[in-house]
Structure 1
């Protein structure tokens, strides 16, 4: 067991600092102060973050920390913190660790007893969820889906059966193809919301059935980054057998999910005990 006091007096620590997802006014007073006081700022893209930091008056030294160098860079950052440095980790936009490699640095800090201090702030999927009109409890966040149709289908099958709102991100140049892939799994009248350019001047929510939203974007070329939300399945369906549930877990594992995460998702989406599914899965 490990116990952490985030506000202990150790000099070295890691702050996870959210940055605006569009509107710069969304930077918090505390986030700005931490960025100004940190010895280093670990940034996913130093050029993108440099523009933001310049606009909010922060001029501290930046270190690149992204998915291509995270495994090598994390120990270096930990070493700096062990010597007393305070590091603020930021994503290109929104919450660090969410859809970025920040979790690798968090894991290294925990392993080395370095305090990790999270700050609350902007998140694109949460911002879209509260304005979607769908039930916000429960929901499942998938991040970015695989790009290939065959790899996407197991995720869409999970969403199709889920009694929770499902959320994922998509890039504009892949949006129409992804919606077409969805349509092969879902009923055409299933409700979805496509939220784009959140908090920016061109913020927009396109609400409708999958077929309606797909038709709209075939006429209007998608622009900006998208959050896609899928309404919960409200149909009462028969309970799947344990063999079928285990097959669903195996599909998610085959597509890159850990066994633990896959079991949790399948259990949640089918309203069954996670522990019981775990036991059944490992007895297979």
Structure 2
């Protein structure tokens, strides 16, 4: 058991987790700016990106690179600095540290070494999108970045299809159409989703509608900017069966001397899924 009290101590330094704006620079807090100014070092995911941000908000401090490719090697160095009594402010490229970046590794090492970890509240893209989505915010599941391959995304989309919580994940613009196409194979055609882009920036936009409507929109409009995708909760009334359950229904009809073609058509219509997708899934077994 461990109890942390975050008041300032002279024996060791503090690790401050400092959120940075996800777009609009006015979202930097007074406290965040003060900590970034007063800290002995700033651990940044990308020193070039962060350097531009710090210059714009008037912070001139020594930066140390800390990203997913060097985090395991760099963490012991940062712990040594903290144990010497110096403070480090960790920042992500944008938004909250630790969320979808390697900051948790440093946090874990600090906890092991009894070094205080002080979190600051601030901007987060998924939380910003959630409160404006129109979906129920309690509960929600945040997935971060999904695997890039469609074959690996299926596991996550099956969970979203059945989930009674709002599901949230990030996607890059050049992969958005392909990801939506894969998602559409797992959720009902009328299932509501939201694609939020360029949050807090000039071109901030929320595209709301069924999965089919949103796909149609992006067929006519090229995706631009980083996206937060939200999938509405699955209510009891719109319960979506898994592919294996749908295939079982087809087999039950076939056992009743209904042709496979008609059975697939009937099950697809009753469950509001693609007939062609169900056909493919059925014959893959």
Q: After TM superposition, is the score higher than 0.5?
A: yes
1:235, distance to aligned residue in structure 2 (A) = 2.4
Query: 1 CA distance for matches of 2:123 and 2:8?
Result: 26
Matching of residue 164 in structure 1 with residue 165 in structure 2: yes
Separation in 2, partners of 1:237, 1:198: 30
**Distance in 2 (alpha carbons) for counterparts of 1:214 and 1:45:** 33
Corresponding residue SS for 1:142: strand
TM-score w.r.t. the length of structure 1 is 0.83
Q: Deviations over 1:164-208 (max 9, x none)?
A: 100000000000000000011111110000000000000000000
Q: TM-score, normalised by structure 2?
A: 0.82
Q: For 1:237 and 1:219, locate their aligned partners in 2 and report how far apart those are by CA, in whole Å.
A: 29
Query: What RMSD over aligned residues (CA atoms) do the two structures have, in Å?
Result: 1.4
Instruction: Please state how far the C-alpha of 1:8 moved relative to its aligned partner.
Output: 3.8
- Structure 2 CA distance, aligned partners of 1:77 and 1:196? 34
Q: By how many angstroms is 1:62 displaced?
A: 0.3
Q: Offset of 1:150 from its aligned partner?
A: 1.3
Distance (Å, rounded) in 2 between the aligned partners of 1:7 and 1:74: 23
Aligned match of 2:256: none
C-alpha distance in structure 2 between counterparts of 1:4 and 1:144, whole Å: 31
- CA distance in 2 between counterparts of 1:3 and 1:237 reads 45
Q: Distance in 2 between matches of 1:24 and 1:173?
A: 26
Deviation of 1:85 after TM superposition, in Å, equals 1.0
State how 1:81-120 maps to structure 2 within 5 Å: 81-120=82-121
Give ranges in structure 2 of 5+ residues lacking alignment: 246-285
Q: For 1:48 and 1:159, locate their aligned partners in 2 and report how far apart those are by CA, in whole Å.
A: 33
What runs of 5+ residues in structure 1 fail to find an aligned partner?
245-284
Give SS of 2:97's match: coil
How far is the alpha carbon of 1:237 from its aligned partner?
A: 8.1
CA shift, 1:236, in A, is: 4.8
After the TM superposition, list the runs of 4 or more consecutive aligned residues in structure 1 that deviate by more than 3 angstroms.
Answer: none
Count of aligned pairs: 240
| Residues 76-113 of structure 1 deviation map (CA, whole Å, 9 limit, x = unaligned) | 00000001110000000000000000000000000000
